[in-house]
Structure 1
């Protein structure tokens, strides 16, 4: 009797996938199924996230069996995972190659900004919302996007909406004013422009962990693409201390104790304590992944990446050519419509002239006929008078 399959639901940022796995299916096998289904090749940024039995978010270990990991079962028959970006690029325009990769990052970062996981100033929120509308709807159109039509759209974080005494319609107007400036921009370009702005936000791509120093002071540890940072508990925007990857010699942990050894051997080690051993394991795993990508960026591109970039460039050129063709067709049709309109007006003018000519000819004929009748009547009267005289 074959082992009973287990249903798995995987939620990406824009779709829901379902698979059936066996008891011996590994995390890598499931991950490979997902990326193959969505045609994603830049797999190094992503992972499968789940909630463990203690309600903590965790990343699925690829080298272990799926069912051997502490996954909380929301349903007896189905396991649920989120397919999310785990690591973030230093420069989105250089590192995110595939359109699907850009789209998944765009949707995830947008969601993080709207839910205020990433702090964003109000002015920047409005600008980002305008790019989000261009990415979703394309060019602004007065007929399709009348005032009030975007009120139900998730345009801005709730904090921004409540911070100023502006109605939803007034916020919409501000977003639309920027949106109009993006006319002609492809949806894919709008997503990338969104990310290029978002990547400069202080909390972009940072994973925060609650820690304590040796004195017991509560702090945050932030792990991102460039290194490790230590933050005050009240301020997650400005780090107190920074450890770039290039300046870290070693990181390690023992139980709840975590040690960062600087490259400069004379510098003291930085020691902190996490609430639980499993937190330190997550921190170390995240550090290893980010450091690996940091080193990878500073080497020549692999053959695979070179091929992907070449293919992406070809696809971009094809899109540009298609856009130019469509634009040329639009211009051709517009010109043809203008010519038809000019011809129609010319025909109307000719018909009016002909009608006026016919009316003029009618009046002329009536006038001539009247003159002839009058002359005839006059002559007839004269003849009658002569006849009377003769009698």
Structure 2
């Protein structure tokens, strides 16, 4: 799953390289995967698809990148695509080898036996002499006792399983483990204790040693932000007050990478994997320790300001263009001077409206329609400008100081990963469905 980028289109974006690789693998379900690379400072990064590949790399070509599972499926054994299942199998097998998938000795022996059955088939005394399992490296470290247990399971329990069946059984077992899908980020807590922060299909976890000490479901995470090396996780739980978990990354770059991975994972699983497995996997009796209390303040939020808050400004702007009052005070005065329905029903009011009533009413209707049309035009124009600016910021390769400063703000990056990317995936999925429907017909 490792490949060196070949020279070619120097201005190619990450999406081009990713699509090229997926085409080579005949991979249609792309959303679970990504391309990872490490910069000269040993900091890991996920390749961003909307930016130029060359501009993201700080090393000299040829560039070495790794095709990895970026978002682990909640139920990998239920994946329909054989190619996707096999790639996820390879990723979890790698996690086991690197010590990320922590488990009991009995579970470790079973997982290794599934790998053995998938790779060499049934046990054959003529082909597999004593100690044959030791030729395979399943874990960072393992004892002779564990090797014997692996061989015993392989000989007695898995005979007759096809490689595909063994891979499926491996996936079913792996997804039940607490550390399934964990991509650990080294940090320290407020007491200076070493910890690993990670994001799984079911929520945010904190590991210390070989134990999971905290688990927070995705629907309990209200916000994530970073300042320098400090990472903040805002949590809201039914039985607790709003709390903030604070951790410290080794470098500001590592902290930004942690934050970016967090908002991408939350956006992906909230968007694509709602409901099913999260409640069953969460341990409802487990409580998250309160590390620091802090009242939530909307001013601290890094989420984009809702468009609805600008509706009054748009309305007043439209009224100003129509020659109507444009200040809030004038708006109130205008409303105060408008006769109410009760006043209009009084005889005096009727007499005042009667002369030329039909023409005056028609003129008022025309003015109202024109005002609405002007408001719609202004609104559509503003939306078009905002959409154009958004497309330039997210899809173009312009690297001016103005655009670069906006792209690097946490607010924009959070909007990009939590809102824009899921929306783009949704549109792409709909377009693929329409195209497939047209091809079938």
Coarse TM-score class (shorter-chain normalised): 0.5 to 0.7
Alignment partner of 2:236 out of 263, 272, 277: 263
Residue by residue over 1:165-194, the C-alpha shift from the partner in whole angstroms, topping out at 9 and shown as x without a partner, is x8xxxx357525434432332211211111
CA–CA distance in structure 1, aligned partners of residues 31 and 132 of structure 2: 36
CA–CA distance in structure 1, aligned partners of residues 429 and 123 of structure 2: 38
CA–CA distance in structure 2, aligned partners of residues 85 and 141 of structure 1: 34
Alignment partner of 2:226 out of 230, 242, 253: 253
Contact 1:47/1:59 (CA < 8 Å) preserved in 2?
yes
CA–CA distance in structure 2, aligned partners of residues 192 and 141 of structure 1: 22
After TM superposition, the score normalised by the length of structure 2 is: 0.57
Question: Is 1:148 the counterpart of 2:130 in the alignment?
Answer: yes
Contact 1:227/1:245 (CA < 8 Å) preserved in 2?
yes
Q: Which has the larger radius of gyration?
A: 1
Match of 1:107 in 2: 90
Partner SS for 2:84 = helix
Spell out the pairing of 1:328-347 with structure 2 (5 A cutoff).
none
CA RMSD of aligned residues (A): 3.2
Contact 2:113/2:154 (CA < 8 Å) preserved in 1?
yes
Spell out the pairing of 1:86-101 with structure 2 (5 A cutoff).
86-94=70-78, 96-101=79-84
Q: Which runs of 5+ in 1 are unaligned?
A: 1-10, 312-391
1:221–1:152 CA distance, 2 compared to 1 (3 A): closer
Contact 2:236/2:243 (CA < 8 Å) preserved in 1?
no
1:172–1:18 CA distance, 2 compared to 1 (3 A): farther
Partner SS for 2:63 = strand
Spell out the pairing of 1:194-343 with structure 2 (5 A cutoff).
194-232=170-208, 235-239=209-213, 241-264=214-237, 266-295=241-270, 296-298=272-274
Question: Is 1:136 the counterpart of 2:119 in the alignment?
Answer: yes
CA–CA distance in structure 2, aligned partners of residues 259 and 156 of structure 1: 36
Alignment partner of 1:124 out of 90, 93, 107: 107
Q: Which runs of 5+ in 2 are unaligned?
A: 277-425, 437-441
| Structure 1: 4+ residue segments shifted above 6 A | none
1:292–1:79 CA distance, 2 compared to 1 (3 A): same
Partner SS for 1:133 = helix
Match of 2:353 in 1: none
